[in-house]
Amino acid sequence: MQDKFPTKCKPLDTEFYSPSGASPIQKEPIEPRQSAPVSTLVHPKETTGHLSLPTDYRAFSSQNDKDEMASTEEIYDIIASEDGGKKASAFAWCRSSSWFIVNKETREVRVASRTCKLRWCPMCAKARMRHLGSEVTSWFKDVPNPKFLTLTVQHNEESLYTQVKFLYDCFKQFRKRKLIKDKVSGGVWFFQIHKSEHDGLWHPHLHCVLHSGFIPRKKISAIWQKCTLTSCVTDIRSVKRPDKIAEYVARYAARPGSLIGLNLEDKMELVWSMHGRRLCGKWGTASVISLRPKRPDDCDNWKSIAGWSMVRDMLFESDQAKAIVNAWRKGIPLPEDFDIKSLNGENFDLPWEKKALEHEPIQLTFFSCYAMPPPQER
């Protein structure tokens, strides 16, 4: 696929990409899985020529999510009959077109890529997870004695749509209760669901990260039972290590549930039941959190060097290409003697607002990579 710029690109979002799914706070990356079918530059000596890149950035981003990618493609192909194929097309193009870019001041290297930002895209879900983990962690620095709360409803055979609506309505009532309003200053909530292997019933529930004083679990359960009339199953506990809160968030913020293991009927029931519903929210002191990435302040400092496929094709013969990939993978600046311009001799800026390409407009997004070799090999 040619490295052509997307058109009608919206303002950039900032995402920090690690193929291992590491939290944004974790600066020491995890080695990509040994079984991954795509080589990802795990050799420590760039001078030996043992370098490689997968076909495109999409292959690099999804190498550990093959089953989820297949399930996502399946549901968007079915939805195509309803939306004219817009979501299927956007998902198919997600991260297929990408470029290595460099910061003109710091000489840091990242990848700019087209992203679909669809709810069920595994690649975009991980990006949301890392962003929310970072945002919640920053908020938690000023929160004394944070709490982690789980609210569930009793299993039943109602449609999933009915169960989800019931859960959301009960949660609204729960937050209006006097004790909750008095004790809880703010919080962030995340929706999760899975289907029980034991009885085959859906299990929707909410996880909340709270800025809260002490509330006995019995009182939480009593209030929740009054809201639901049927369920008193709750769990609340102190977050003893606030620096680990990103791990809590990462566990629940990516997607409402996994499509793997569900039959097609269940997949579509899950997708349609969650259509138009928020998967996370905030209130009170947590309102300062941004649930969606914003345009970076320094986006105008970034300049394109070359397309992903061009760098990949020149990797074995070009010292420039090797330097670009080495800087990106290790999180180090480009050498001072590196001439910051594209490998094809051109020097051009990233187009934030261009016109007219046949494909559906998709947002342009920044990625940095810390996929380094194992510590013993560095």
| Domain edge (last residue) among 254, 288, 322 | 288
Q: Indicate whether 125 and 26 sit together in one domain.
A: yes
CATH of the domain at 238: 3.30.70.60
Domain for residue 99, yes or no?
yes
The residue behind tokens 């909750």 is 180
Say if residue 31 is in the same domain as residue 158: no
Q: What is the C-alpha separation between 102 and 341, in angstroms, rounded?
A: 9
Please report the pLDDT score of residue 130 as a whole number. Answer: 85
By CB neighbour count within 10 A (0-12 exposed, 13-18 middle, 19+ buried), where does 136 fall? buried
Spatial contact of 212 and 187, defined as CB atoms under 8 Å apart: yes
pLDDT of residue 341: 67
4 falls within a domain: no
Closest Cα partner for 9 from 364, 358, 357, 366? 364
Hey, what are 311's tokens? 């760098």
pLDDT of residue 88: 95
Q: Report the pLDDT value the prediction gives residue 342, as an integer from 0 to 100.
A: 58
Instruction: State which residues form the domain around 265.
Output: 137-288
Angle at 369 between CA 368 and CA 374, to 5 degrees: 160
- Looking at 288, 318, 333, the residue that finishes a domain is 288
Q: Assess whether 175 and 108 both reside in one domain.
A: no
At 51 the pLDDT is: 64
Instruction: Determine the Cα–Cα distance for residues 56 and 302; give it in Å rounded to an integer.
Output: 21
Where the chain has pLDDT below 70, the residues are: 1-51, 243, 340-378
Assign residue 206 a region: left if phi > 0, alpha if psi is -120 to 50, beta otherwise? Answer: beta
Do the domain assignments include residue 82?
Answer: yes
> For residue 211, what is the enclosing H or E element?
strand 202-212
Residue 114's pLDDT is what? 85
Cβ burial 178-203 (10 Å sphere, 16+ → b, else e): eebeebbbbbbbbbbbebeeeeeebb
Q: 148 Cβ partners below 8 Å, 6+ apart?
A: 207, 208, 209, 210, 236, 237, 238, 239, 248
Number of domains observed in the structure of the chain: 2
**Residue 156 sits in the same domain as residue 215:** yes
Instruction: Please indicate, yes or no, if residue 7 is contained in any of the structural domains.
Output: no
- Give a yes or no: residue 1 inside a domain: no
Q: CA 148 from chain center: how many Å?
A: 21
Residues 182 and 217 occupy one common structural domain: yes
Q: Give the per-residue pLDDT at 33.
A: 33
Taking the alpha carbons at both ends of the chain, their separation in whole angstroms is 33
Residues 143 and 278 in one domain: yes
Q: Are residues 59 and 179 in the same domain?
A: no
DSSP-derived letter for residue 349 is B
The answer to whether residues 349 and 245 belong to one domain is no
Domain final residue pick, 240, 264, 288: 288
Task: Mark whether 162 and 269 lie in a shared domain.
Answer: yes
Same domain? For 344 and 237 the reply is: no
Q: Crossing angle, helix 122-140 and helix 245-253, to 10 degrees? A: 150
Are 121 and 193 contained in the same domain? Answer: no
Using alpha carbons only, what angle is made at residue 105 by residues 362 and 315, rounded to the nearest 5 degrees?
65
Choose among 374, 359, 367, 365: nearest CA to 91. 359
Q: Is residue 3 in a domain?
A: no
Q: Could you give the angle at the alpha carbon of 33 between the alpha carbons of 32 and 35, nearest 5°? A: 135
Task: Say whether both 66 and 104 belong to one domain.
Answer: yes
- pTM (two decimals): 0.76
